[in-house]
Amino acid sequence: MVLAKNRQVVLISRPDGIPQAEHFNIVEATVPPPSAGQVVVRNEWLSVEPAMRGWVSAVANYSEPVALGSVMRSFAAGRIVASQHPDWPVGTAVTGMFGWQEFALVDAAQIEHRIDEADLPLSTALGVLGLNGVTAHYGLLQVGQPKPGETVVVSTAAGAVGSCVGQIARLHGCRTVGIAGGEAKRALCLERFGFDAAVDYKAADFHERLAEACSDGADVYFDNTAGPISDAVMAHLNVGARIVVCGTASVPSWNPPPLGPRAERNILVKRARMQGFVIFDHLDCYTQAHADLAEWVRGGKLKYMEDVLHGIEAAPDAIAGLYRGENLGKRLIRLDESA
Amino acid sequence: MVLAKNRQVVLISRPDGIPQAEHFNIVEATVPPPSAGQVVVRNEWLSVEPAMRGWVSAVANYSEPVALGSVMRSFAAGRIVASQHPDWPVGTAVTGMFGWQEFALVDAAQIEHRIDEADLPLSTALGVLGLNGVTAHYGLLQVGQPKPGETVVVSTAAGAVGSCVGQIARLHGCRTVGIAGGEAKRALCLERFGFDAAVDYKAADFHERLAEACSDGADVYFDNTAGPISDAVMAHLNVGARIVVCGTASVPSWNPPPLGPRAERNILVKRARMQGFVIFDHLDCYTQAHADLAEWVRGGKLKYMEDVLHGIEAAPDAIAGLYRGENLGKRLIRLDESA
- Number of Cα atoms under 13 Å in the Cβ half of residue B228: 6
pLDDT at A339 over 60: no
- Burial class of residue B154, CB neighbours in 10 A (0-12, 13-18, 19+): buried
DSSP at A196: S
- Pairs of CB atoms within 8 A across A/B: 126
Distance, CA of A175 to CA of B22 (rounded, Å):
47
Give the lowest-confidence range in A111-115, B64-68, B250-254: B250-254
pLDDT at B337 over 80: no
The dihedral sign for the CA sequence B23, B26, B29, B35: positive
Q: Which of B264, B270, B279 to mutate to test the interface with A (most CBs of A within 10 A)?
A: B264
Distance, CA of A322 to CA of B205 (rounded, Å):
42
Q: Which residues pair with A309 in a beta bridge?
A: A333
Single pTM value for the model: 0.90
Comparing A64 with B239, which gets the higher pLDDT? B239
| Residue A326 pLDDT | 86
Mean model confidence pLDDT for chain A: 94
Tell if the CB–CB gap between A62 and B269 is shorter than 8 Å. Answer: yes
Kindly give the residue spans of alpha helices, DSSP state H, lying in chain A: 52-55, 131-138, 160-171, 183-191, 206-213, 227-234, 264-269, 286-298, 318-323
pLDDT at A3 over 90: no
| Residue B222 pLDDT | 98
pLDDT at B56 over 60: yes
Nearest CA-CA partner of B305 in B327, B336, B283:
B327
Report, as an integer, the average pLDDT of A218-232: 97
Contacts with B273 from chain A: Cβ below 8 Å: 273-276
Tell if the CB–CB gap between A278 and B271 is shorter than 8 Å. Answer: yes
pLDDT at A212 over 60: yes
pLDDT at B160 over 70: yes
Domains of chain B (ranges plus CATH)?
6-127+304-334 (3.90.180.10), 134-280 (3.40.50.720)
Across the interface, of B61, B62, B273, the residue whose CB is closest to A273 is B273
| Residue B2 pLDDT | 54
Tell if the CB–CB gap between A278 and B268 is shorter than 8 Å. Answer: yes
| Angle of the B286-298 helix axis to the B131-138 helix axis, nearest 10 | 110
Q: How much of chain B exceeds pLDDT 90, in percent?
A: 87
Across the interface, of B245, B256, B262, the residue whose CB is closest to A264 is B245
Comparing B129 with A4, which gets the higher pLDDT? B129
Report, as an integer, the average pLDDT of A323-328: 86
Who's near A286: CB < 8 A, 6+ residues apart? A113, A134
Across the interface, of B254, B261, B267, the residue whose CB is closest to A245 is B267
Report, as an integer, the average pLDDT of A97-106: 96
Tell if the CB–CB gap between B268 and A251 is shorter than 8 Å. Answer: no
| Residue A235 pLDDT | 96
CB A98 within 8 A of CB A75: yes
Task: Name the closest residue on chain A to residue B247, using Cα atoms.
Answer: A268
pLDDT at B7 over 70: yes
Across the interface, of A259, A271, A274, the residue whose CB is closest to B281 is A271
CB B176 within 8 A of CB B152: yes
| Residue A337 pLDDT | 61
Give the lowest-confidence range in A51-55, B43-47, B58-62, B201-205: B58-62
Contacts with B275 from chain A: Cβ below 8 Å: 267, 271-275
| Residue B60 pLDDT | 61
Nearest CA-CA partner of A46 in A15, A82, A8:
A8
Contacts with A275 from chain B: Cβ below 8 Å: 267, 271-275
Contacts with A62 from chain B: Cβ below 8 Å: 268-269, 271
CA Rg value for chain A: 20
Tell if the CB–CB gap between A264 and B61 is shorter than 8 Å. Answer: no
Contacts with B281 from chain A: Cβ below 8 Å: 271
Distance, CA of A90 to CA of A88 (rounded, Å):
7
Across the interface, of B54, B230, B264, the residue whose CB is closest to A245 is B264
Report, as an integer, the average pLDDT of A258-286: 95
Tell if the CB–CB gap between A258 and B261 is shorter than 8 Å. Answer: yes
Tell if the CB–CB gap between B251 and A265 is shorter than 8 Å. Answer: yes
| Span A43-59, pLDDT tens digits | 999 999 988 998 998 87
CB B123 within 8 A of CB B227: no
pLDDT at A182 over 70: yes
Q: How much of chain A exceeds pLDDT 70, in percent?
A: 97
Give the lowest-confidence range in A19-28, A75-84, B2-11, B116-125: B2-11
| Residue B92 pLDDT | 97
Across the interface, of B259, B266, B277, the residue whose CB is closest to A271 is B277
Q: Which of A264, A273, A275, A281 to mutate to test the interface with B (most CBs of B within 10 A)?
A: A264
| Residue B339 pLDDT | 46
| Residue B318 pLDDT | 97
CA Rg value for chain B: 20
| Span A120-145, pLDDT tens digits | 999 999 999 998 999 999 999 999 99
| Residue B338 pLDDT | 60
pLDDT at B3 over 80: no
| Residue A325 pLDDT | 82
Who's near A287: CB < 8 A, 6+ residues apart? none
Distance, CA of B213 to CA of B190 (rounded, Å):
13
Buried/exposed code over B270-285 (b: 16+ C-beta within 10 A; e: otherwise):
bbbbbbbbbbeebeee
